[in-house]
Amino acid sequence: MANLFAWINTDARYHGIAQVPLAANDHAALKHACFLDASRVTTFREQELQAALDRGCISSGLAARVIACVQAEQPRTLTPSQLALFTANLAKVA
Mean pLDDT within 55-84: 94
Q: Which of 42-46, 60-64, 71-75 has the lowest mean pLDDT?
A: 42-46
What's the rounded Cα separation, in Å, for the pair 54 and 64? 21
- Residue 53 dihedral angles phi and psi, to the nearest 5°: -90, 125
User: What would the pLDDT profile of 10-33 be if each residue is shown by its tens digit?
Assistant: 999 999 999 999 999 999 999 999
> For the chain, what is the mean pLDDT?
93
Beta strands in the chain (DSSP E): 5-9, 19-22, 34-42
Domain ranges within the chain, ordered by starting residue:
5-91
pTM of the model: 0.89
User: What would the pLDDT profile of 41-61 be if each residue is shown by its tens digit?
Assistant: 998 888 998 898 889 999 999
